[in-house]
Amino acid sequence: MHYLRKELYQLIKSDESIFDFIQESSLDGLWYWDLENPEELWMNVKFWRTLGYDSAGMAHKTKAWEQLIFQEDLQAAKKDFQNLLTNPSFPYHREMRYRHKDGSTIWISCRAFAIRDGKGKSIRVVGAHINLTELKRKEQLLVETNRVARVGAWELDLVHNKLYWSEVTKEIHEVSPDYIPDLEEGINFYKEGESRQIITECVEKAISEGVGYDVELQIVTHKNKTIWVRAIGQPEVYEGACRRIYGVFQDIEKQKQAEIKLTESEEQFRQTFEHAVSGIAVVGLSGALLRVNNSFCQIFGYSRKELLTMNFQDLSSKEGLKESLKKLGELKRGEREVYYNERKYIHKKGHYVWVSISVSRVVDALGKIIHFVAQYSDITQRFLATQKLKQREKEVQQIFDNAVVGMALVNDKGKWIRVNDSLCNFLGYSKKELLNMSFAEVTHPDYLKETYHHLEKLVTGEVTVFHQEVCFIHKNGRLVYAIVGVSRITNENGELLHYVAQYADISAQKRAVGKLRQERTFLQTLIDNLPVNVYIKDLASRKTLVNQMELKHLGVATAEEILGKEESQLYPPESAKISREEDLFVFNTGQPILNRETLNIKIDGTQTWFLTSKIPLVNQEGEIDSLLGISYDVTKFKEAEEKMRKYSILETKSKEMEQFSYIVSHDLREPLATMKGYLNLLVEEFLNQMPADAQEILQLSAEGAHRMDELIHGLLDYSRLSQVKALVELDCNQLLEQVLADLSATIVKNKVIFEIAPLPTLLGFVVEMKQLFQNLINNAIKFRKRTISPIIEISSQKIKAGWQFKIKDNGIGIQESEKERIFQIFQRLNKDYEGTGIGLANCKKIVEKHGGDIWVESVLGEGSTFYFTILTKGLGKTVHG
Ligand code: ADP
């Protein structure tokens, strides 16, 4: 025995601490069992601690141990004890499992040793524990890992010519767990051909040269599946000979497939990358261009070689770089998966290129960013087109907004979707209000039907645009007018998007036209009611406008019958010629003809005297293009003038006559008075002395002288009527009373019956009025019928300018043909009646002196009615006869 060992024994025997140190530090538990009292079992502190218990207070009983050991392992342990007790050489060494206080499994390697008495009977057993738990866990983990990684182990024992396969190796070969392989079979699992050849060579080389191998080959499994495996062999050489080869065997089918796929996809990626239409670049984290494709080179104008020495920042314009870096940062930090942008870059030649980019990250298996992949599309053309479009849109918008005319976009429902300021002003609504309305709401109902009709045509494509005069209702209720032009806006398929409408405000024109029409109507009314003929003639002397008087003159009902007709169609040639010459004078000289007396003869021969003016009319260019004719019908005046002319001759004659009568009657009175005196003397003094013949002659002479005296008186009265006298207020009733009183003898004698109505009071010449009544009443009595009593009616009636009197008798009457003549001086119808024929002439003169007239209505044999009027109302106080 080694002396140190001997010494250690001694020490252990003599010093407990040495034993304690050994049992504490080298073991995970120690127990000591009393077989004579088998329920007694002592377990040291480490035993308990290993199982998670504090030894103090733990019962040192077999029962306690039995409860801690896994029940599955208890029987096997007991069986081993049994063997140990009967067979001293039995090596008690067993792995067993205990339940830790925390419930986990504790793997223990237990060795036990039986202590026997002098008779060889086992009386005690001492046991030692080593905690295998950690080891076991690792082993388990390895097995599991290998299983998951499909890594098996194998060993070729060349000494005993045995092949060992681990469980996983068998699984890989798809053989049963109890399969026992041999070298030849093992080799034959490799796929015939290249794989089998390589493995054979590898094994031979390992054996002969001691060279290990690591190869990827294909095997055909027991279930006839071809899979990729990785075979690693490591020879163990001892004394120049290879004793064994051991190694690993791994199923790498999945990885291989993945690898193949990867290669394929990598190829695909390469192809895609290279031939992509858009530029693609792999960009390093620093921004370096790691890989670029053709399209990328084309976009930026650099060669691939140049680009691979550049950073993406080198291509960026300053403006966009900041944002790009910011977004890259976000991408790096994982705040976004991908970023899109559209911005300008700089081409090699210095100009800008507009590019749309999308950048995404490429990460490794651990999620770490390796690099970025950026795709670039050249959108310069599109960008420029868009820019242009935007510019155009802006321009259109400006035109729209600032247009003087109202403009609007209207959708297919008639709603306004865009309106400009002019339209708002026109309709009086704000933009906001209008955009909530439809055009129909502000259109006058009378115009809507036509608008819808037009819109329908627009929708069907029958027309592409329409114009309509429309009346709208302004917000303040006033009516406003516009010429509206509407066209439609369609998409590329020709489908209606909306309408575009323009509104030209014509309210002012409308008002002006209205006013003009009004003025025209006024003018037409005015000229129609003028008591003159008005017309306008064009340069060919055709009438273009005429008034009512002219129509009446030409005897037509409507202007259409005259307008546009030549002079020759309306007047006989001579008249037409004169008129045309006048017109030409006006047109050619520009001078008007004013108040020229013209005789117009119509085709029917009617003659009309006109006072005509023809005035040239000048158009806007200052040229004479027509004339205004005004003709005043003076035919009546002409006739009156003629009458007047005749009348004045008459008057002169009558004046001379009056003068003559006066002189004659006045001068005749003296000799007549002398004659009458001498004749009366003769009658009184000498009548009885004369012979009968002479008496008769004397009588007749005296009567003749008397009649002559009456005549002279009458004449004197008649001529006196012309003298100036004063108008006084006369009560005709009183006047008549005096007249009747003067005539009372005659009235009584003739049994005259009067029927007198109340008469008016008026202005008149007293002597003359009395004479007037006296003459008329006297005549009514004088020209009575012999057979009946005279009845005389006297009455009056108010007329417009004065009074009309009526004196009616039932006398002999007057022949129709004589009704005018009796008012002339010395005109007598009936020589059977006494008279001078001056009475009615006087009456006429008196009535005319009072502004009136006298006439008679009569039926011969049935009586006469004399009428006279007194119109002194408008006369001055004095009148000259
Ligand atoms: P005189 O009576 O002196 O003859 P007048 O001038 O008074 O003259 O009348 C003219 C004529 O008118 C009369 O002669 C008579 O023939 C007729 N005459 C006048 N008055 C009447 C009358 N009332 N009825 C019928 N004849 C009348």
**CA dist list (Å): 690 to 682, 760, 811:** 10, 58, 43
- Count of other CB atoms within 10 angstroms of residue 666: 13
Residue identified by tokens 């207020």 is 729
**CA dist list (Å): 414 to 354, 582, 852:** 41, 63, 81
Residue 219, classed as helix, strand or coil, is: strand
Neighbouring C-alpha atoms within 13 Å toward the C-beta of 244: 11
Tokens of 116: 């026997």
Provide the pairing of β-strand 406-410 with 369-378: unpaired
More confident residue, 409 or 663: 409
Whether 879 shows a pLDDT value over 50: the answer reads no
Percentage of residues in the chain having pLDDT higher than 70: 98
CA distance 663 to 694: 33
For the Cβ of 783 lying below 6 angstroms from any atom of ligand 1, the answer is yes
CA distance 519 to 524: 8
What is residue 875's predicted lDDT score, i.e. its pLDDT? 43
Ligand 1 nearest-atom number relative to CA 775: 7
For the Cβ of 819 lying below 6 angstroms from any atom of ligand 1, the answer is no
Handedness of CA 310, 315, 319, 325 (dihedral sign): negative
For the Cβ of 181 lying below 6 angstroms from any atom of ligand 1, the answer is no
More confident residue, 613 or 826: 613
Residue 723 binned pLDDT confidence (cut-offs 50, 70, 90) = low
pLDDT digits (tens, 9 = 90+) for 515-574: 888 888 888 888 888 888 999 999 999 999 998 888 888 888 998 998 998 888 888 888
> Which of 781, 815, 828 is the best mutation target for the ligand 1 pocket, counting ligand atoms within 8 Å of the beta carbon and taking the most?
828
CA distance 300 to 374: 14
Distance 762 CA to ligand 1 centre (A): 27
pLDDT digits (tens, 9 = 90+) for 252-277: 998 889 888 888 888 888 888 888 88
Q: Are 470 and 461 in contact (CB under 8 A)?
A: no
Residue 759 binned pLDDT confidence (cut-offs 50, 70, 90) = very high
What is residue 295's predicted lDDT score, i.e. its pLDDT? 92
For the Cβ of 858 lying below 6 angstroms from any atom of ligand 1, the answer is no
**CA dist list (Å): 180 to 146, 163, 183, 690:** 20, 8, 10, 227
Percentage of residues in the chain having pLDDT higher than 90: 44
Whether 292 shows a pLDDT value over 90: the answer reads yes
pLDDT digits (tens, 9 = 90+) for 118-154: 888 888 889 999 999 999 889 888 888 888 788 899 9
Whether 18 shows a pLDDT value over 70: the answer reads yes
pLDDT digits (tens, 9 = 90+) for 377-397: 888 888 889 889 999 999 988
Q: Are 838 and 718 in contact (CB under 8 A)?
A: yes
What is residue 521's predicted lDDT score, i.e. its pLDDT? 85
* Those residues with Cβ within 8 angstroms of residue 413's Cβ, 6 or more apart along the chain or in another chain: 438
Q: Are 29 and 47 in contact (CB under 8 A)?
A: yes
CA distance 840 to 782: 13
Whether 877 shows a pLDDT value over 50: the answer reads no
* Those residues with Cβ within 8 angstroms of residue 850's Cβ, 6 or more apart along the chain or in another chain: 764, 765, 768, 769, 802, 870, 871, 872, 875
More confident residue, 807 or 743: 807
**Protein residue whose Cα sits closest to atom 8 of ligand 1:** 837
DSSP state letter for 285: T
Provide the pairing of β-strand 753-756 with 791-799: parallel
Residue 717 binned pLDDT confidence (cut-offs 50, 70, 90) = confident
Whether 88 shows a pLDDT value over 80: the answer reads no
Whether 113 shows a pLDDT value over 70: the answer reads yes
- Angle, CA of 416, 420 and 426, to the nearest 5°: 90
Residue identified by tokens 């053709």 is 294
* CB burial of residue 723 (10 Å; 0-12, 13-18, 19+): exposed
Residue identified by tokens 């075979």 is 231
CA distance 67 to 82: 19
Whether 16 shows a pLDDT value over 90: the answer reads no
Q: Are 586 and 614 in contact (CB under 8 A)?
A: yes
For the Cβ of 828 lying below 6 angstroms from any atom of ligand 1, the answer is yes
End-to-end CA distance of the chain: 207
Residue 856 binned pLDDT confidence (cut-offs 50, 70, 90) = very high
For the Cβ of 864 lying below 6 angstroms from any atom of ligand 1, the answer is yes
Average pLDDT of the chain?
88
What is residue 825's predicted lDDT score, i.e. its pLDDT? 82
Query: pTM for this one?
Result: 0.37
What is residue 873's predicted lDDT score, i.e. its pLDDT? 60
Angle, helix 692-720 to helix 839-849, in steps of 10 degrees: 10
Whether 107 shows a pLDDT value over 80: the answer reads yes
**Protein residue whose Cα sits closest to atom 11 of ligand 1:** 828
For the Cβ of 812 lying below 6 angstroms from any atom of ligand 1, the answer is yes
What is residue 876's predicted lDDT score, i.e. its pLDDT? 37
Whether 722 shows a pLDDT value over 70: the answer reads no
